[in-house]
Structure 1
Amino acid sequence: MTMSSAPEPLPMPIRVLLPGDQAVVAHLWSRRQLRDGWLYEVGLPAYRNGPGDSVEPAEYRVWVRAPQHVRPVGGVSYDAVPTKYLEPPSLVQQALGPRRPSGWVLAKAGGRGPGRGVVHAVDCEEAPAGAPVLTLDRALDAAQHPGTRLCSLCGAALELDPVLKGFGQGFGEN
């Protein structure tokens, strides 16, 4: 029994913008949607060395960003181009919204003594830029030093206080 594979789709012409303000008509083979835009798989016309001293036509395939590196060719419909769209978010992702990056950072406060500072979530507006990201254990260690507090603006206090003080706090347990 022979397995027949579907033939590769016919490429569509597309204008590719090259460095140096050059443009060339190439083949558009497929496209893929990303969270921040689109990638197009294009085949650029080229030559390669063949047997002996011969030169033969070839195609160099590369993924480029659209619309930064490609333009449509007038009168061409791109409806038949194989396209991979992003999966729609699940109902859980829709309900919860985007996830916050994990980790915490320590903003060192001026003054004397070790351990003075504020623990922030990594995406807090008050978090220092370029500070090393702390794991949960390191953030808890930093939070236990006298003079260190947990930021209430970003929710670091809400997230880390129950771990530091026990989950029974606020429920009548000691």
Structure 2
Amino acid sequence: MSTSPSPAPDPAPVPIRVLLPGDQEVVARLWAKRQVLDGWLYEVGLPAYRNGPGGSVEPAEYRVWVRAPQHVRPVDGVSYDDVPTEYLPKPSLVDQVLGPRRPSGWVLAKAGGRGPARGGVVHAVDCDEAPTGVPVLTVERALDVAQQPGVRLCSLCGAAAELDPVLKGFDRGFDGED
């Protein structure tokens, strides 16, 4: 008769001090840790009571994710090494080399005036000069808009450097050509 190993039991929660509003502190149970973009979250179980059947009162636990280290402190002598921990996925080599990328899309800051040649400026969506509350254009639509009379591409945000080669051809400017 073969026996298969039984699954490992979930690690038992460990005590941790939780800082509550009003300068209160309580010892709770730490269930899990999660790395997020701006730090860490800890899932803690705070001791509480709840109403039970027949008007009874019974112990309960209220679980909540709190920020670490802002809302938690270690308990002396307790190891937190075995607490289930969820890490952010490691960025790909491409993301590590390129770094953070700006949001995609383009926006048109329309110039005043009337008529078909009133023009405007095409900006990247994160440009300081870009208007807010206007529709975001795909690269195809931004190229169409950029070809309209009176429309120019912003040189501050790189719209000109990124869209001009597509409009005018990539090989322009190479091999001594202008």
Unaligned segments of structure 1, at least 5 residues: none
1:69–1:134 CA distance, 2 compared to 1 (3 A): farther
Aligned positions of 1:12-161 closer than 5 A: 12-111=14-113, 113=115, 115-161=118-164
Alignment partner for residue 162 of structure 1, among 150, 162, 165? 165
- Deviation at 1:75? 3.6
**How far does residue 6 in structure 1 lie from its aligned partner after superposition?**
2.0
Q: TM-score, normalised by structure 1?
A: 0.81
* Greater displacement, 103-112 / 147-156: 103-112
Per-residue CA shift, 1:44-69, capped at 9, x if unaligned? Answer: 11222333322221112121122232
CA distance in 1, matches of 2:5, 2:120: 66
Identical amino acids, percent of aligned pairs:
80
Q: Distance in 2 between matches of 1:15 and 1:145?
A: 63
Tell me which amino acid in the other structure corresponds to 1:68.
Answer: Q
- Structure 2 length-normalised TM: 0.79
Q: Which stretch of structure 1 is more off in the superposition, 148-157 or 129-138?
A: 129-138
Range with bigger deviation, 124-133 or 31-40: 124-133
Aligned residues: 173
Give, in angstroms, the shift of residue 112 of structure 1: 5.2
CA distance in 2, matches of 1:167, 1:128: 29
- Tell me: CA distance 1:133–1:17, structure 2 relative to 1, closer, same or farther (3 Å): farther
**Structure 1, residues 39-94: CA drift from partner, whole Å, max 9, x if none?**
11111112223333222211121211222322223343322222222232222222
Q: Residue 130 and residue 71 in structure 1: after superposition, are their counterparts in 2 closer, same or farther (change >3 A)? A: farther
> Which residue among 9, 12, 15 is the counterpart of 1:10?
12
Which string of whole-angstrom CA distances, capped at 9 and with x for unpartnered residues, describes residues 128-155 of structure 1? 3454432223322332221111112222
- 1: CA distance, partners of 2:115 / 2:17: 63
- Write the letter of the residue equivalent to 1:160: L
**What is the root-mean-square deviation in Å for CA atoms of aligned residues?**
2.7
Query: C-alpha distance in 1, partners of 2:45/2:15?
Result: 10
SS in 1 for 2:53: coil
Q: Secondary structure at the match of 1:62?
A: strand
